[in-house]
Amino acid sequence: MKDIIRYLASLPRRQKQFVFVAMDVCVLPLIMWLVYAIRLAKPNVPVMQGLDFWYLYVGMFGVLIFALLGIYSAIVRSFNEDYLLRISIATFIQIVGLYAIKKLDLAFIPMSIPLMYGFMLFSWMWWSRAVIRYATLKTFAKKQNRKRVAIYGAGLAGQQIAAALFRSDDYLPVCFIDDKASLQGQSLSGLNIYSPKRISNKLGKFQIEEILLAMPSVGRARKKEIIESFELADVKIMELPGVTQLVDGQVKVSDIREVDIIDLLGRDPVPPKAELLEKNIKDKVVMVTGAGGSIGSELCRQIVKHQPKILVLFEMSEFALYSIDRELQNSAVQIVPVLGSVTNQTKLERVIAAYQVQTVYHAAAYKHVPLVEANPFEGIYNTSIGTARSVDAAVNQGVETFVLISTDKAVRPTNVMGASKRMAELYCQALASMNPKTQISIVRFGNVLGSSGSVVPLFKKQIATGGPVTVTHPDVTRYFMTIPEAAQLVIQAGAMGTGGDVFLLDMGEPVKIVDLAKQMIRLSGFKPIDEKGLGDIEIQFTGLRPGEKLYEELLIDHGNVEKTEHQRILKSYEIFYSYNEIFNIFNDLKVYVNHNQISELLSILVKYVDGYKPHLNSNN
């Protein structure tokens, strides 16, 4: 039998359609004879008296209607509501046709015959296709390789993905999980619906390997609660994308993906304020320094959405510039890629003047703490002096707005990277105090998920290779934010500036890195090795790296903070130095960098950067 099914399934599409047509042409007259026989309770009964060759008319007319409604062009394995609706319409048309024949006295048709024929015709079309679909799926299914899945969410998305999984060779849906008490204990698509508490005891019994979150519209906070409720279960968590991605309304197996790590933050983004996003961008010439970096490139993506006149990409890495330039060339905005360093003030001024730049987002900086700690002169030269030359170029050329993108590592830093950022902040604050025409603002925030300096890509690689996952210290904590949210908030904060402002982005609650590592391991379907040595992937503590802190802060002075019109943006008033003093200090920095005078360089950082204590292992 399986050989016959395989043979038929391997036929070309046209031949398969011919088989179905031939089958229906033969069966439809039999159905008509059967309803007459049932009505009179005897097999030897005249059918449609007065109409010669009635069996040809019944068979050909029925097949024609089914063909016009696309019954034969549909794939039987995609047996769904649309297919049943087409069969229903075709059946109704044939019932009406029989009544029309009766009305015109073309044949003897009792009143009950059309309805009886319609019922049996619909049953035939439904059950014949269902049996063929079932037999085909059973024949070709790879049961031994199919992953057993529980679907969390018995809504429309859950029902659609269940139907898709039944047709797939890779997954086998076992049951539904749903929070609604009214659904629990019921059955849907042949699958039982369980409460989250009850299913926890049955995961092992049902041999469930994965839990699929089929709730596209649920918020991150609720999704985080669900994920954490299965932490002790030996299952992998997968999900369907959000409602914005499922635009066609049809869920497919290919839509299944791993849970995005940003859902572990448990924080839903706040809708941006359109007027703030557009204020410094729409119909203006905008330049982004460090345009190829993690933050810089996302800033560029957000900027082109708000129709600037020109977007200038300023970047020192050829490959990074090529990548973001190529990505943005399809936008309707004029993109100008410029290869250069922010330490070259002459070139900066030439570019700003040539394109009449009005807004500058300064994202160029070194961000890897250990590398800058080992190379302090390059860190100071690129981040501190580079920022000074960038903002000087902007002021000299009459740029309207200059926004420095800073970091929480600038607050009481224990490393050169953070100290170099704080020096950059001090220069911008001092210059802003001179009331130039350029509005200068600083936006400070913590780690962004997925950036080149984030632990997330590192953890993913380590988990993929079987571990170990390396964490510096059991108590180390960090603030995290998604790159798109950070970029949007940077743009909005810059639009609220009045000059010399220090804006702080609300990063939510700090996250322990070891907890993040454990959650990522569990989401991948593994268990972190515990104290007893049980589990799949080991977490190793390597010790704090040179200059690394256990935790980061966003505020230097907690007493001088006020809210802004945006609930995720705060404004801080911090002590800074006069421009003349900072200008002289930066001249000294240049000399110390050029002459490799490390002790003099560190003495400046200790004096002017609040809380800085040098911890250096220098290569230069």
- Annotated active-site positions, please? 409
Residues 313 and 357: their CA atoms lie apart, in Å, by: 11
Beta strands, E only, 227-352: 236-239, 257-258, 285-289, 310-315, 334-339
**What residues contact residue 171 under an 8 Å CB cut-off, 6+ apart?**
146, 147, 149, 165, 210, 253, 256
Listed residue (174, 176, 165) closest to 141, CA to CA: 165
Nearest 5°: the CA angle 342, 445, 223 is 130
Give the pairing type, strands 539-541 and 469-471: parallel
| Residue whose tokens read 């009331």 | 435
Helix, coil or strand: residue 563: strand
**What residues contact residue 66 under an 8 Å CB cut-off, 6+ apart?**
24, 72, 87, 90, 125
**What residues contact residue 494 under an 8 Å CB cut-off, 6+ apart?**
280, 359, 361, 401, 403, 441, 443, 503
- Scanning 193-267, the segments in alpha helix (DSSP H) are 196-200, 220-229
The alpha carbon dihedral of 469, 475, 476, 479 has a sign of positive
Residues composing the chain? 620
Residues 503 and 497: their CA atoms lie apart, in Å, by: 8
Beta strands, E only, 372-464: 401-407, 439-445, 447-449
- Is the separation of the CB atoms in 469 and 463 below 8 Å? yes
Helix, coil or strand: residue 312: strand
- Is the separation of the CB atoms in 505 and 481 below 8 Å? yes
